[in-house]
Amino acid sequence: MKKLVFATHNQHKTEEIRSALKNQYEVLNLEDIKCFTDIAETGTTFQENALLKTTYVVENFHLDCFADDSGLEIEALHNEPGIYSARYAGTRDNDQNIALVLKKLQNIENRKARFKTVISLIQQGENYFFEGVVSGTIRKTLSGAGGFGYDPIFQPDGYSVTFAEMSMEEKNKISHRAIALQKMIAFLGANEPNMH
């Protein structure tokens, strides 16, 4: 099976991607290729950050690879936390990040938000981008024990539950990462070198 490196240290993300790419690729993460560097995300956009990660792996490990950068954009907070989603409260602690969002939205009626993912894929020296967006609203209280990050307060449009209340299969059908990933999978499928 072909190997594809996913430039992340995050086990949750790795599992999500493995479940989506099962049977097509053996997905390795940074730990699997013995890359223990915390690749600096110094870009000002999701696209720049994703590219920084893939470029690092290609330059240092010479493996085809993809990376995503994603975050939560809340309309009333001028699209914050955005690229700072993972460390919004100055820490990677999900509970503190969620608490800060809820505090900032305390007296705000507009709860519109969207999750956005940009995937950078470098394959045979070429770079490609895939984007996924899912719109929804921010709940006033946490609900559900699944998922990670802001999932317990994000309710996607058209659903009465949060991402954290969905099974991984359900979330994988509609999440921002899933949308970007489906685009990448379709691209990989269409560009498979012929195995004759």
Q: Which residues are catalytic?
A: 69
- Amino acid in the structure at residue 52: L
Query: How is residue 23 written in tokens?
Result: 């049977």
Number of Cα atoms under 13 Å in the Cβ half of residue 148: 14
Rounded to an integer, what distance in angstroms lies between the CA atom of residue 128 and that of residue 18? 20
Q: How many whole angstroms separate alpha carbon 40 and alpha carbon 42? A: 6
Indicate the residue type of 182: Q
3-state secondary structure of 153: helix
For the beta carbon of residue 129, count every other beta carbon within 10 angstroms: 15
